[in-house]
Amino acid sequence: MRWLITGAAGQLGSDLRTALSSAGVPDSDVRAWGSSELDVTDRRAIAARLDEFGPDVVVNAAAYTAVDAAESDADRAFAVNATAPALLAAAASERGCRLVHVSTDYVFGDASGGADRPFEVDDPTEPTSVYGRTKLAGEQAVLELAPEHGFVVRTAWVYGATGQNFVKTMAALQRSREHLDVVDDQRGSPTWSADLAAGLIALAQAPAQPGVYHCANGGETTWFGFARAIFAELGADPERVRPTTTDKFPRPAPRPAYSVLSDASWRAAGLTPLRHWRDALAEAFAVAGEQLRG
The pLDDT-based confidence of 111 (bands split at 50, 70, 90) is: low
Q: Do 64 and 70 contact (CB within 8 A), yes or no?
A: yes
Dihedral-angle region of residue 235 (phi above 0 means left; psi in -120 to 50 means alpha; beta otherwise): left
Reported as a single tens digit per residue, the pLDDT across 51-84 is 999 999 999 999 999 999 999 999 999 999 999 9
CB atoms within 10 A of CB 92: 26
- DSSP assignment of 122-135 equals TSPP---SHHHHHH
Q: Do 100 and 59 contact (CB within 8 A), yes or no?
A: yes
Measured distance CA(82)–CA(62) in Å, rounded: 11
- The arrangement of secondary structure in 3-165+189-219+255-275, i.e. its CATH architecture, is 3-Layer(aba) Sandwich (3.40)
Name the catalytic one among 106, 131, 159, 213.
131
Reported as a single tens digit per residue, the pLDDT across 170-221 is 999 999 999 999 999 999 999 999 999 999 999 999 999 999 999 999 999 9
Domain boundaries along the sequence of the chain? 3-165+189-219+255-275
- Average of pLDDT values for 92-101? 97
Residue 56 CB-density burial (10 A; 0-12 exposed, 13-18 middle, 19+ buried)? middle
Residue 131 annotated as catalytic: yes
The pLDDT-based confidence of 120 (bands split at 50, 70, 90) is: very high
| Sign, CA torsion 201/222/185/10 | negative
Closest CA to 259 of 167, 160, 157, 184: 157
Reported as a single tens digit per residue, the pLDDT across 123-145 is 999 999 999 999 999 999 999 99
The angle subtended at Cα 158 by Cα 64 and Cα 119, nearest 5°, is: 95
CB atoms within 10 A of CB 132: 27
The pLDDT-based confidence of 109 (bands split at 50, 70, 90) is: confident
| Average pLDDT in the chain | 96
| HSE of 236, CA atoms in CB hemisphere, 13 A | 22
